[in-house]
Structures are given as structure tokens and as C-alpha cells.
Amino acid sequence: MSSSAENPTLTAEITKPSTEIATETAQSAKKITLKTSDDQIFEVEESVAMEFATVKSFFEDAPSSTDTVPLPNVPAKPFSQVIEFCKEQIKFKANPDETEKKRSNSEFVKEKTNEDLVEMIPVANYLEIKDLLDVLNQAVADRIQNRSVEYVRSFFGIDNDFTSEEEALLREEHAWAFEDVDED
Amino acid sequence: MAASICSSFNNDMVIDILARLPVKTLLRFKSVSKPLLSLITNPKFISSHLHQSTKNSSLVFHFSHNEFPVAMLYYTEPTTLHAVHIPSSMKDYSFKPRIHIKGSCGGLLYMELFFGCCVFHYGLWNPATRQFKKIEEPQQCINLLSEGFCHSSKINDYKLVRTGYFLYPATRRTRYDRRRVDSVVRALVFSWKKDSWRTVEDGALLGGSFSDPVTVKGDLYWKVSGERNYLANEELVLAFDSSNDVFRRIELPGLINQSNPSYTTTITEFKGSLGLFVFLEYSTSNSGFDFWVLNESRTGGNIRCCWRRLLTAGTLSKIGRPISAWRCKIILKNLMGENSFFLYDPISREIIDVPILSDDVYDYVETLASVDGTK
């Protein structure tokens, strides 16, 4: 990467006869090293790593860098699941099929536990992966939609700061909204 | 909203998730915690929730019979009707009101309620929060030409517009005398935020026969067939800009006015633009319809309008009159059955029957917005 940046004209001439194939193999071979907050090293294909807007802009600022990219706030467990998602996404970039993409996305979240989703959302947010964040947030919304107040408190780790009088008053105001709620 | 709502996520993530939830769920989640309560009642959140909820619009119907006067049809299951709860505040007389929906915009319904033969009033209804509020009638009496209800997200206000000829008292004794009708058309505009009416004078206002209004991106549009004083027999569109209370006229595509007068036109909202169906009104064989879309571009204070024919639907397997566009489908009124509708997909040419008998149909989205804008 560093040599081609120094002399782009020359590189272009040399690779001319088989441009597309040559650059593709060169790109897919290229790996980027990422280090998670719990000191795990991930070697990720460049095309996958470029799905992470945060990592992409890191390389835009320093295109010739071969350093390991530190990812503070990103633990290894959710990160490996994020990589799994992005690998799938890349397939649809080359071959757009909205129905198949939707099916694949819903398959992806279906297998995940609530804990998985809660751990992945901050990672997707930090790495700025818009599509994944959209899929995860919708999945959480779908899971809590018919749930009780208590379920939501434990889902998000929220403490109840109402007095029992205050809470009773709020519940009374919208009593009908507490009907037909799924069992916890 | 500086306080952190939960330990797992920052507030922006929580907002993004909550904005995807139905109103009923959010009303329940008000009692989760104080920070969540303040978020759910925050006007900014209410706006972003409404914006998100337009992706899941449904249709609302109202019926003449009393059992289930109002029903919803959700886009995700277009064959099942859901009855809508009628708030008790609507029934402030001992007998059930007859409900007439006159407009639906930004999650609120503008409606007329009849109690018995001559007692009636107007109101705003939020079916999602089950709130209803009466609208006080304006002081000024008006010989009504048109009426419309719209929501401007730009200024976050709901507006009710009435155009017509003002009526003035002939003597001090009589309140109003029909003989003293004004000769110019004026408008009365009700603001939800201010909970009051104001008079608007505008050179673009005109008399004639008005279609039902259509709302596009918060603005109102009527199709008008001009009367004697104004553009005799010519059809045009009158638009109302809901953010600054200014009216404007828009010409229809040139060839329609010149061509065979047996053509009928209907306006509709279509993906953020004004759409126009052109079809033969009295044809017994079903000859389909043309569909035009208006492109309005603003440069400075001027608005340039340009019509484009988007689609020509040939013979359909069913005879229907196009009523409006709903997402990528066209709603047609079945001319063979009584008051029933069907959906037509112009791409797949598929026809879906909507198994209902209804007088009117409106696009509807859920909102947390209060029926009282002054709060």
C-alpha cells in the first residue's frame, strides 16, 4: 500500500493488463490488526474492517499505517459477533438482494440472547456501523414492545426512582396500556 | 435530559430504540423511571418518534353504523381490521356520538361529532393515547368553501384551515344575516399550539367547488373547479403552506384542461409529493388511469412546479375509481360493490381486496402528541 501511494502512475501502468483481478486479490489478502479492550488481537480482512466507519477514518488519516488499531470500549465477545455480521453484509454489497438481506439480518438477531444484543449495541455505535445499529435497535424494540415495566428495567439496567405513590399514579393514568402484556 | 437513563447505553442509543416503539408501549414505560418519563414526554422525542412512526403508517376508516365506528388497517396485515377504542370524553352526552373523521395528519384526527339531530361539535382525537379535545368554534361566521387539517413538522404545529365568504351582522340586533355575505374569499386558521383562530387574507384564495383536501409534507392541497368570478370551469390546485399560512395556486398538467372534458381528476399524496389520477369517469369498460406527480422546487421565495406522468395503468381486472396512493399501492373504490375498496400494486399488477364497507379512508400514523398543544 505504501509503495503504490508514493508512485501511483507507475503502479497503474504495470498492473494494467489484469487490473481488476490483480487489485481484488491484493485487497482481499490484506489484513488489518485490531486490538480489543480486553487485549485480544483480531486479524480482519480489510474489506470487513472498512465497514467500521471509525476504523476507516483511522486509515484515511494515516493511509500507510501498519500499526495495530486499538479499540478501547470494544470487548472481544461482542466484537467477534459484529465481525460475523459485517462479513455477511459485504456479500450483499456485491450482490444486492433486499429480501435475502432482510432474511439474513433477522436470522442473525434471532440467534442472539438479550445479553448479546445489549453488548453489541455500544460496539456497533462506537464503530459507527449504521446498518448493524439499525438491525440491533429494531431487534431490541421488537423484544421489549409487549413487555412489562419490570422487564424493561432489568433489560436496560435501570433503577426505579419513583416512590410507590408516584408509580401507582402513573400506572393509573394509562391503566389500559398495561393490558395484554407478555409474561416475563 | 443530561442524566443518564441506563447503565448499558448512552442516551442517544436509548432514544433510537424507544422511537421505534408503539405509543401504547411508551405510555406503559413512562413508569419505568424518572429519566425515562422525562424523555418520553419531551417534545423533541415526540417529534422524532412521529418521524420514525411514519414508516409504519396504517389506514383509518370510519363507518356510518354504530357498532365499531372507527377501525384501523395495518400495513403489515392488510386484511384484518382492528376496532379503535372510543374515549369516554367523546361521549359527554348521555347518548353515543356519531363520528365523522374530517382529516388525519401527524397522528391526530380532526373530527366532527353529532349528538342527535342538531347538536354537534368539532374536536381533535389522538387514537393512540386515547385523548380527545373539543375545538372552540371561531367568533367569525363563515360560508364554508373548504376545510383542511394539517401538521407542520417545521414549526411543530397542527392547523385547521377553513376558507369561504365571511358573514357579517346586518343590524346590531341580528347576529348574522345571510344577505350580508362578503364578496372576497378569506381563510380562518386554527393553531393547535395557540389554541386560537386567526383570519388570513390572501390573493391566491378563490371560490369554486373544492375537492377533499390532501396533505403533502404538512401542506394542504385542494383541487378547485373555479366558479364564475374566478377562472370559469377551469380546474386548478390551491395549496396552503402550513408553516407560514400562505396560499398558492398550481396549474394542472396542460393537456388535461384542454382535452376531453369527460376526464376526471383526483389528487392524492404520493411519497412526499402531490399525485394526480386522470381517468374516464363514466366508462363502463374499465380503461384504467394515468398517474401524474408534481415536482415543486423552491429557489429563494419562488416555487417552480412541474408535472410528470409517472404511470399509465391499463385495464384492471376490477372496476374501481382511484382514491389515493398508499405507499407503493393505489387504493381504489370498488364501483361494483357498495363502498368497498381494493388495493392495486402497479408494479406486480396484483389486486388485494379490503373487506370492508366504509365511507372514508385516511392515512394514519401513531403519535405521543397531546391533543392540547398549549401544554
How confident is the model at residue B31, as a pLDDT?
A: 95
Residues of chain A found within 8 Å of residue B30, distances taken between Cβ atoms: 170, 174
**pLDDT surpassing 70 at residue B2:** no
The whole-angstrom distance between B135's CA and the closest CA on chain A is 23
**pLDDT surpassing 90 at residue B240:** yes
Which residues in chain A (55-84) have CB-CB distances under 8 A to chain B?
none
Average pLDDT over chain B, rounded to whole? 84
Confidence of residue B361 (pLDDT cuts 50, 70, 90): confident
Q: Which residues of chain A have pLDDT under 50?
A: 1-28
User: Helix, strand, or coil here: B74?
Assistant: strand
Element (H, E) at B214: strand B214-216
* B328 touching chain A per CB within 8 A: no
Cα–Cα distances in Å, from A96 out to A89, A91, A99? 10, 8, 9
How confident is the model at residue A16, as a pLDDT?
A: 40
Question: H-type helices in chain B, by residue range?
Answer: 11-18, 23-29, 34-40, 43-53, 254-258
* A172 touching chain B per CB within 8 A: no
The whole-angstrom distance between A62's CA and the closest CA on chain B is 29
A134 grid coordinates? 439499525
The rounded distance, in Å, linking the Cα atoms of B39 and A41 is: 39
Which residues in chain A (118-157) have CB-CB distances under 8 A to chain B?
118, 121-122, 125, 133, 137-138, 140-141, 144-146, 148-149, 152-153, 156-157
DSSP B347: T
* A174 touching chain B per CB within 8 A: yes
Q: Which residue do the cell numbers 453484509 mark? A: A89
Comparing alpha-carbon positions, the chain A residue that sits nearest to B32 is A149
Q: Please, which residues bridge with residue B198 across strands? A: B189
Residues of chain B found within 8 Å of residue A176, distances taken between Cβ atoms: 24, 85, 130
A and B: number of Cβ contacts within 8 A: 81
Does the distance separating the beta carbons of A176 and B5 come in below 8 Å? Answer: no
How confident is the model at residue B82, as a pLDDT?
A: 80
Does the distance separating the beta carbons of A176 and B130 come in below 8 Å? Answer: yes
The count of other CB atoms within 10 Å of the CB of residue B327 is 13
How confident is the model at residue A22, as a pLDDT?
A: 44
Comparing alpha-carbon positions, the chain A residue that sits nearest to B10 is A122
CB B63 within 8 A of CB B100: no
Read off the pLDDT of each residue in B60-74 and give the average, rounded to a whole number.
71
* A177 touching chain B per CB within 8 A: yes
How confident is the model at residue B233, as a pLDDT?
A: 61
How confident is the model at residue B3, as a pLDDT?
A: 65
Does the distance separating the beta carbons of B14 and A181 come in below 8 Å? Answer: no
Of the listed ranges B57-66, B142-151, B230-239, B256-265, the one predicted with least confidence: B256-265
Does the distance separating the beta carbons of A138 and B28 come in below 8 Å? Answer: no
Of the listed ranges A71-75, A106-110, B59-63, B164-168, the one predicted with least confidence: B59-63
Q: What is the DSSP string of B108-177?
A: EEEEEEEETTTEEEEEEEETTTTEEEEEPPPSSEEEEEEEEEEEETTTTEEEEEEEEEEE--SSSSSS--
Number of helical H runs and strand E runs in chain B: 5, 25
Confidence of residue B135 (pLDDT cuts 50, 70, 90): very high
User: Helix, strand, or coil here: B370?
Assistant: coil
How confident is the model at residue A173, as a pLDDT?
A: 93
Does the distance separating the beta carbons of A145 and B21 come in below 8 Å? Answer: yes
Does the distance separating the beta carbons of A170 and B30 come in below 8 Å? Answer: yes
**Among candidates A149, A158, A162 on the partner chain, residue whose Cβ is nearest the Cβ of B6:** A158
Q: What is the largest CA-CA distance in chain A?
A: 78
Q: Sort A112 into a burial class: Cβ within 10 Å, 0-12 / 13-18 / 19+.
A: middle
User: Helix, strand, or coil here: A48?
Assistant: helix
Q: Which residue do the cell numbers 461482542 mark? A: A78
Q: Sort A160 into a burial class: Cβ within 10 Å, 0-12 / 13-18 / 19+.
A: middle
Residues of chain B found within 8 Å of residue A121, distances taken between Cβ atoms: 8-9, 13
Does the distance separating the beta carbons of B18 and A156 come in below 8 Å? Answer: no
Does the distance separating the beta carbons of A144 and B25 come in below 8 Å? Answer: yes
* B22 touching chain A per CB within 8 A: yes
CB B64 within 8 A of CB B20: no
The rounded distance, in Å, linking the Cα atoms of B169 and B202 is: 23
Which residues in chain B (110-149) have CB-CB distances under 8 A to chain A?
130
Read off the pLDDT of each residue in B147-166 and give the average, rounded to a whole number.
94
Question: H-type helices in chain A, by residue range?
Answer: 2-6, 8-14, 19-29, 46-49, 53-61, 76-94, 98-110, 114-126, 130-144, 149-156, 164-173
Assign residue B353 a region (left: φ > 0; alpha: ψ between -120 and 50; beta: otherwise).
beta
The count of other CB atoms within 10 Å of the CB of residue B216 is 20
The rounded distance, in Å, linking the Cα atoms of A166 and A158 is: 17
The whole-angstrom distance between A166's CA and the closest CA on chain B is 9
Comparing alpha-carbon positions, the chain B residue that sits nearest to A166 is B31
What global pTM score does this model have? 0.81
Read off the pLDDT of each residue in B114-142 and give the average, rounded to a whole number.
86
**Among candidates B6, B16, B28 on the partner chain, residue whose Cβ is nearest the Cβ of A156:** B6
The rounded distance, in Å, linking the Cα atoms of B153 and B172 is: 43
**Among candidates B24, B32, B85 on the partner chain, residue whose Cβ is nearest the Cβ of A158:** B32
The whole-angstrom distance between A52's CA and the closest CA on chain B is 18
Amino acid at residue number B187: A
**pLDDT surpassing 80 at residue B65:** no
Domain A3-144 coded CATH 3.30.710.10: yes
Does the distance separating the beta carbons of A145 and B10 come in below 8 Å? Answer: no
Q: Taking the domains of chain A in order of start, what are their residue ranges? A: 3-144, 149-178
Comparing alpha-carbon positions, the chain A residue that sits nearest to B17 is A137
Read off the pLDDT of each residue in B184-210 and give the average, rounded to a whole number.
94
Separation of first and last alpha carbons in chain A? 54
- For chain B, percent of residues with pLDDT exceeding 90: 41
Element (H, E) at B269: strand B263-270
Does the distance separating the beta carbons of B37 and A170 come in below 8 Å? Answer: yes
Residue B306 or B74, more confident: B306
Kindly provide the ipTM of the predicted complex, given to two decimals.
0.81
Residues of chain A found within 8 Å of residue B28, distances taken between Cβ atoms: 148-149, 174, 177-178, 181
Residues of chain B found within 8 Å of residue A177, distances taken between Cβ atoms: 24-25, 27-28
Read off the pLDDT of each residue in B36-53 and give the average, rounded to a whole number.
94
Question: Long-range contacts of range A125-128, CB-CB < 8 Å, 24 or more positions apart?
Answer: A125/B9, A125/B10, A125/B12, A125/B13, A126/A54, A126/A71, A126/A73, A126/A74, A127/A52, A127/A53, A127/A54, A127/A55, A127/A71, A127/A74, A127/A82, A128/A52, A128/A53, A128/A54
Amino acid at residue number B136: E
Element (H, E) at B357: none
Q: What dihedral do alpha carbons A73, A76, A82, A84 form, nearest 10°?
A: 170
Residue B285 or B63, more confident: B63
Sign of the alpha-carbon torsion through B250, B255, B256, B258: positive
Residue A184 or B223, more confident: B223
